[in-house]
Structure 1
Amino acid sequence: MPKSTKKKNKAPLETAIDSVLVLDGFNDWVEFPPGSMPSGNAITCSFWAYGSDALPRDTSVISASDANGNRILNIDLPWSNGFIYFDCGNNGTSVGVDRIEKQASPEVYRDNWFHWAFTKDAATGEMKIYFNGQLWHSGTGKTIALPKSSLVRLGCYGDSKYFYPGKLAELQLWNRALTEPEIKQNMSRRLIGDEPGLVGYWPLNDGEGAIAEDRTSNANHGTIHGNPSWGPSTLSLVDAIPSESENEKAPSSPGTPTQASDTPMITEIVPAGSAIADKNTAVIQFDGETNYIEIPHQSVLGLTNNFTVEAWFNAQTLEGYRRMFSKFPGFGYGLVGSSLLFTTYWIQDYAAAAQLTAGTWYHLAIVFDASNSVYFYLNGSLVQTVAGESPATLSTGALEIGRKAEGHDEYWHGQLAELRLWNRAKTPGEILSGKSYSLVGDEPNLVGYWPLNEGVGTTIQDKTSNANHGSIRGNNVVWGLSTLELAAAELKSDRGTSSQAIEEQAQPSTPEGKEQIPSIPGAKVPSQGETAGKLETTPAPIIIEMESLSDEAVLEFFTKGNGAIYDSVDTALDQMKAQGAFARNAVPVFIVISGSVATTA
């Protein structure tokens, strides 16, 4: 295919889609020229879709037909019966079409962004459907080719019926059946428009007007009908890879693995092994009926008290008992209605009332201390403390995420992310400071860490060296996209508490290269002369004196670094040195409240 004639100042090199096409489901559609639909033996049609809560109903996302109205291609996402239908090819009759179909749950087609790819190769007889880069359904013996189309429409079927309600982005048509690695590679990035085999590329992010621009040199621009809107999008894609016309060092073309490796650039929704670093990374959808994760017992998981559990959760249902985590006959936690719940099985139920909204992300931390009291934290704030009398029973049973291990019920309905298990009671400051960051997995006292962001497959990875890996059980395992935003994992040194992020925040540089002490609301900052030479510690700490510590100061301090509370500066330095916190010459910052923390000045 010739290089794109698109002007460079409008090339799709953004890191995120600014706007998307929003269809109302009543009379909105886009009509493309007949030549935009490939003909012959092979095709790939892919796009991102965000279906509205009006689904399921009779809808067609994209359709093509010949001059006699015979369908050549049609994708129902879904039909009113919940089936996703993929029709492709026609032998010249109204019924001479190849089809594959599969029942789908609402979690895969509405209220979130999902990537779909539909492929056919009549030469091999294979038709396939890919969901979020993974093969979802397939059929064989499908050998009818695609004739030339006379009518091609997005958002409805044929002569304007079965309108699709929702958002669409990144529509691509290829004249060949892409492979699974190619689909995975292309789904999370923009295209240029000159990729081999690409015959139509409509990002659908024009933002205004009645034209949906085709970024290929074929210029099969679409005409928008009805009254659709251009809405903001939370869908994020990486930059397009420039072609030779825009970069003298042209990489291998998108859709083809590089020469240096047999693996694609992007092998999952998120790079393999990474923790959640921003919104729209992978997240598992628990169906509330059959899905859960089973993790075999290891001795490090056999905790009875003096431990902390954490999780981010997004509940689709706030009714009845819903378990996030269960280790029978030891302990478990979850929700009962809108209340937070922690259970020591056969011993005691601990509950804390909370104001929760379905479909919203919350951070939950529960501390079960050495005195058998439970501390419930929601979004970093203490909600309630409940006293107890006995530790949990030592459990050697499997750990289950997403249901109650005893009785095999109380299934979780919604999303879970960033599950953590610590073998000590964490402090309020540690909970507040750590909730908005992913982890590395080598943090002290961390015995289990499951980001739950694999994106494909049925294996769940524990990022700690304990390797408490698990397997997803149940029907219709679904990976979706998450809107949860967490800062990237901070690399630790010698499993200490220092990080490069703290170093950079503790001593930002002025234009002249001089060090500055960070600004903390209400702080009286001593001069370098007041503290220099007074501490026989390498490196010397920065000490900030305050009369009191306001809520604003607490929030800024604990969300910009690994804050902790100590009896004295000397005690803190001794502990940090013992943990290897200065392996990379980090400069510790201490906030000293007058009369409560000793200084050496």
Structure 2
Amino acid sequence: MANVVPVLYFDGDEDYIKIPDSPSLRILNYTVELWLKTDGIPNGWVGVFGKVNFNYNLWLCYLGQIGHNWHTTQSAKAISNTSENIVKWDQWQHIAITNDGKVAKIFINGELITKSSVDGSLVADNTELIIGAGLTGEKGQYYKGYLTEIRLWNKARSADEIKADMYHRLTGNENGLVGYWPLTTAANNVAVDKTSSNNNGKIYGAVFQNAQLPGQLSVEPAVATVEISDLFYKAKADKKADQYVEITNNGTAVADLSGWKIKSLAKSLKYIFPVGIKLNPGQSIKVYNNEYHPESGGFLFFSEWGVWKNKGDTATLLDSKGNEVSTFSIP
């Protein structure tokens, strides 16, 4: 059976993970992402993920609601809940909560379900992180079911970013990722954090069981594969303004193009991508000589004359460290 792997199972009877506090977990803006599959319907509210004292708390209710709590200077326990019957019992669902200090959001399967305004400034607590149990510091409110691919980011991710990564394993080196617990393997009852933060947790009671993951959830980490896919050099417009080079992400992960460069061999011209430019899997963008095309990104060399020669030229794509990523040559 495809995609059957060991996944951590919580039996609802004092099964949980405890992760000690660390500086990397004391974050203000955040995103929490995870996959869950309940085993039956819980009794009341149960804790899924978060720090004690209500930093980035994710809860689950017997009425089929997802709860989102956070701590601010105006409220020790700010609350936002979805409507009832949102959760599909005994089925895999991807849940995400985000908070940028202004708006707190809840996503299910990559779709925005509810959002609430944030009053006051977010507060970071120096408390332990709990997975699979109540988030109040008291015993009880234990989750029953499977959990996998738990991710904690130090920024509020967009819906597009969540969707781009939700069906893929990560490497642990992604920008802004401060905690990553796949929960598909463990040694000595330790839930290993695959980021450099080393926020490892102690597993209490929960055991690994073979489970079939959602059909599209790949076992392998997602990888961005960016290349020059086209180079239009036979210009028709005045001063060759319509020349362009096209860049495509043929991989499975979002590519951060901040500081990447496109260079012309013949004329030694170059274009540098601004900070924050992302290229989603399957997406293409074009950098024109001197024509503005917002539908393809709106990027321009701003060259008074043509960038590319009609013969014997080569376009080279370099990453932010100057490593060659891709080339495209004109015969």
Shared fold per TM-score greater than 0.5 = yes
Asked whether the 8 Å contact 2:53–2:77 carries over to 1, the reply is: no
Shift in Å, 1:323: 1.3
Secondary structure class of the residue paired with 1:482: strand
Counterpart of 1:590, as a letter, is: I
- Mapping 1:28-43, distance limit 5 Å: none
Counterpart of 1:300, as a letter, is: S
TM-score (norm 2): 0.70
Other-structure match for 1:573 = 273
Other-structure match for 1:401 = 131
Asked whether the 8 Å contact 2:54–2:135 carries over to 1, the reply is: no
Partner Cα separation in structure 2 for residue 385 and residue 558 of structure 1: 33
Q: Give the unaligned 5+ runs of structure 2.
A: 263-270, 287-291, 302-331
Asked whether the 8 Å contact 2:181–2:194 carries over to 1, the reply is: yes
Shift in Å, 1:281: 1.2
Partner Cα separation in structure 2 for residue 368 and residue 318 of structure 1: 28
Asked whether the 8 Å contact 1:330–1:393 carries over to 2, the reply is: no
1:563-598 residue CA offsets vs partner (Å, 9 max, x unmatched): 7899xx999822279x9x9xxxxx983289757952
Other-structure match for 1:268 = none
- Mapping 1:38-437, distance limit 5 Å: 234=1, 279-304=3-28, 306-319=29-42, 320-331=44-55, 332-337=57-62, 338-344=64-70, 346-353=76-83, 355-371=86-102, 373-406=103-136, 407-437=138-168
Partner Cα separation in structure 1 for residue 243 and residue 198 of structure 2: 41
Q: Which of 254, 257, 270 is equivalent to 1:562?
A: 254
Counterpart of 1:329, as a letter, is: N
Partner Cα separation in structure 2 for residue 436 and residue 558 of structure 1: 16
1:526-569 residue CA offsets vs partner (Å, 9 max, x unmatched): 956469x97999xx5438xxxxxxxxxxxxx9995417899xx9
Shift in Å, 1:322: 1.7
Other-structure match for 2:209 = 480
Counterpart of 1:484, as a letter, is: L
**Bigger CA drift: 404-413 or 385-394?**
385-394
Secondary structure class of the residue paired with 1:311: strand
Partner Cα separation in structure 2 for residue 455 and residue 395 of structure 1: 27
Counterpart of 2:68, as a letter, is: F
| Closer/same/farther in 2, CA of residues 382 and 432 from structure 1, 3 Å limit | same
| 1:489 counterpart = 2:221 | yes
Other-structure match for 2:327 = none
Shift in Å, 1:401: 0.6
Structure richer in strand, relative to its length: 2
Partner Cα separation in structure 1 for residue 86 and residue 21 of structure 2: 34
| Closer/same/farther in 2, CA of residues 463 and 386 from structure 1, 3 Å limit | same
Asked whether the 8 Å contact 1:450–1:463 carries over to 2, the reply is: yes
Asked whether the 8 Å contact 2:36–2:94 carries over to 1, the reply is: yes
| Closer/same/farther in 2, CA of residues 302 and 457 from structure 1, 3 Å limit | same
1:250-294 residue CA offsets vs partner (Å, 9 max, x unmatched): xxxxxxxxxxxxxxxxxxxxxxxxxxxxx1111111011200001
Counterpart of 2:190, as a letter, is: T
Partner Cα separation in structure 2 for residue 593 and residue 564 of structure 1: 21
Partner Cα separation in structure 2 for residue 328 and residue 390 of structure 1: 19
Partner Cα separation in structure 2 for residue 421 and residue 441 of structure 1: 11
1:419-465 residue CA offsets vs partner (Å, 9 max, x unmatched): 11100111121111010111000111100000011166411100001
| Closer/same/farther in 2, CA of residues 572 and 403 from structure 1, 3 Å limit | farther
Shift in Å, 1:391: 4.0
Structure richer in helix, relative to its length: 1
- Count of equivalent residues: 270
Partner Cα separation in structure 1 for residue 293 and residue 243 of structure 2: 22
Counterpart of 1:339, as a letter, is: Q
Shift in Å, 1:599: 3.8
Report which structure shows greater RCO (CA 8 Å, sep ≥6). 2
Asked whether the 8 Å contact 1:347–1:390 carries over to 2, the reply is: no
Asked whether the 8 Å contact 2:80–2:115 carries over to 1, the reply is: no
Counterpart of 2:247, as a letter, is: I
Partner Cα separation in structure 1 for residue 25 and residue 154 of structure 2: 9
Secondary structure class of the residue paired with 1:281: strand
Q: Give the unaligned 5+ runs of structure 1.
A: 1-233, 237-278, 492-498, 508-515, 518-525, 544-556, 582-586
Kindly name which structure, 1 or 2, has the bigger radius of gyration based on alpha carbons: 1
| Closer/same/farther in 2, CA of residues 463 and 447 from structure 1, 3 Å limit | same
1:84-129 residue CA offsets vs partner (Å, 9 max, x unmatched): xxxxxxxxxxxxxxxxxxxxxxxxxxxxxxxxxxxxxxxxxxxxxx
Asked whether the 8 Å contact 2:82–2:106 carries over to 1, the reply is: yes
CA RMSD of aligned residues (A): 3.8
Q: Which of 147, 168, 184 is equivalent to 1:453?
A: 184
Counterpart of 1:308, as a letter, is: T
